[in-house]
Amino acid sequence: MYSRRTRSGRLGSIMRRTLPVTRAASPGKNTNSVTAAARRASSRVVRIVLWRIGEPALELTIPALARAALMKIRIESAKNGCNPGLFPEPPTARAGAPKTPHTDVHSPGSSTARLPRGERMKPVPAVLACAALALAGAQPSAARAQGAGQGQVSADYSVTFLGLSIGRGTMVSTSDGRNYRTTLDVRVTGVAAIFSGGSGTATATGQIRGATPVPSSFTVAIRSGGKVETTRIAMAGGNVTGVERDPDKPPHPRATPVLPEHLRGVLDPLSAGIFVAGGSGPVAGAAACERRTPVFGGRERFDLIYSFVETRQVEIGGYKGEAAVCRVRFEPIAGYRPDRNDIQSARQRSAEVVLVPVRGTRTLLPAKITLSTGYGTGIAQATRLALDPGQPPARRAAAD
């Protein structure tokens, strides 16, 4: 463990190596590199909000946030001579520029189909290391599968790091008793929004068989810096049948390949947020947590390993009562660079997830997620929970 001085010096060294210093005497110098760094930081923040809890998103993103904060300090200290074009408007795409989305098709019965070797690890939703699981939420579909009629649950979430707001999100999920549809809207807020606005939308559809989700489609679009990145996953019977990314990104040569066997029996990041307490015991008991969930987010394949901690009395987002507290660990499977220190660090850490029951069902919804990193603590917490399927939906994130 580093001392305060050592850690601070190490972080400062990292930032000095990463971000060139902007000097008042040379207003045009380093403009491109600083602007690019600001946009990269904003893009990382958007992805945190869309990423799964098991992903090491905060581990990957906090250095970018630190660089963004350092930029702000430098700008304020050099106001008199600061280049007014330091943060120009994001460029627009050239009219008529062709788009070439990439499609990978995998047939469950094929032994040769595979994703490109060495897919680069990118946080394609997956939804805040600290927050995505909370924002993904538990669909009411499992609950409706055990009952009858149409239902809807929704929630508003706030995401903070070191006590500072960095994102907000709204999850709405509906079910007709067999089919489910979940939509997650997120946007960058607070300090992160100073540098560049960003937002994202993810949607998952599928069916519930027994108490198990069987997804059929997943789509996520991330908007940042005037650009949009989209990933679409087609699924059937628990297997991935196709992946489309626009724009396509070249694979990293050192990333472990995603093989056909990695794409069988998996869930998309939103469908992986369905929590159903099996058996007939307490809903907010061990049955709510104990599980290992295989997830594929479009580029990377990972497992989320949950274990029960305790049943706790909580008061969150308007809910007051018992909650199941789980510990969750991240286990990378494929699509990652094994030599990355942040991945190794994420494997050694765990997050705490607080699950609250949807009224009259055995389905639970994430109400709070806490993730400690080497840089500080990130928290995703519900500000409003509509846990009765008859309640009106929560506010959409875009309206905040």
CB 142 within 8 A of CB 136: no
| pLDDT score for 321 | 96
Residue 7 clears pLDDT 50, i.e. is over it: no
Output phi, psi for 287, to 5 deg. Answer: -65, -20
Task: Please choose, from the candidates 152, 94, 294, the residue with its C-alpha nearest in 3D space to the C-alpha of residue 212.
Answer: 294
**DSSP label at 251?**
P
Considering only 4-8, 76-80, 141-145, which range has the smallest mean pLDDT? 76-80
Which token pair is 311? 């049943």
Q: Tell me if 18 is assigned to some domain.
A: no
| DSSP-derived 3-state class of residue 178 | coil
Strands 319-334 and 301-316 turn out to be antiparallel
9 in a domain, yes or no? no
Query: Residue 249: is its pLDDT beyond 50?
Result: yes
- 21: helix, strand or coil: coil
pLDDT value at position 248? 86
| pLDDT higher than threshold 60 for residue 35 | no
Q: For 340, how many CA atoms within 13 A lie in the half-sphere containing its CB?
A: 19
In a domain, 366, yes or no: yes
Q: Please check whether residue 277 lies inside any domain of the structure.
A: yes
Q: What is the DSSP letter of 15?
A: H
The residue with tokens 């489910």 is: 180
CA gap 400, 263 in Å, rounded: 37
23 in any annotated domain: no
Question: Nearest-5° angle of CA 125, CA 387, CA 360?
Answer: 120
User: N- to C-terminal Cα distance for the chain?
Assistant: 39
Cβ-count burial 334-368 (b if 16+ within 10 Å, e if not): bbbbeebebbeebeebbbbbbbbbbeebbbbbbbb
pLDDT digits (tens, 9 = 90+) for 50-79: 443 333 333 334 444 444 443 333 333 333
Q: What are phi and psi of 168, to 5 degrees?
A: -135, 155
Contact 385, 368 (CB under 8 A): no
Query: Does the residue 223 lie in any domain?
Result: yes
Q: Bin 370: left if φ > 0, else alpha if -120 < ψ < 50, else beta.
A: beta
Structure token pair of residue 123: 């946080």
Kindly report the number of other CB atoms within 10 A of residue 327's CB atom. 14
The verdict on residue 4 lying in a domain is no
User: Three-class SS of residue 294?
Assistant: strand
Say what the pTM is: 0.66
- Mean pLDDT over the full length of the chain: 70
pLDDT number for residue 33: 56
The helix/strand/coil state of 215 is strand
What does the DSSP assignment read for 81-135?
G--TTSSPPPPPPPTT-----EEEE--TT-SS--PPTT------S-B-TTTHHHH
The number of angstroms, rounded, from the C-alpha of 205 to the middle of its chain's C-alpha atoms is: 18
CB 343 within 8 A of CB 121: yes
Indicate if the alpha-carbon torsion angle 167, 370, 4, 11 is positive or negative: negative
In a domain, 187, yes or no: yes
Q: How many structural domains are present in the chain?
A: 1
C-beta of residue 214 within 8 angstroms of C-beta of residue 206 = yes
Return the minimum-mean-pLDDT range out of 146-160, 234-248, 340-354.
146-160
DSSP letter assigned to residue 259: -
Q: How far apart are CA 96 and CA 110, in angstroms?
A: 37
pLDDT digits (tens, 9 = 90+) for 204-229: 999 988 777 899 999 999 998 889 99
Residue of higher predicted confidence among 214 and 342: 214
pLDDT class of 318 with cuts at 50, 70, 90: very high
pLDDT digits (tens, 9 = 90+) for 87-139: 223 333 334 444 444 444 433 333 333 343 333 333 333 333 333 433 444 44
Enclosing domain of residue 258 = 102-399
Residue 389: the pLDDT is 63
- The rounded distance, in Å, linking the Cα atoms of 212 and 175 is 14
Peptide bond into 247 cis (omega under 30): yes
**How would you classify the pairing of strands 151-161 and 164-175?**
antiparallel
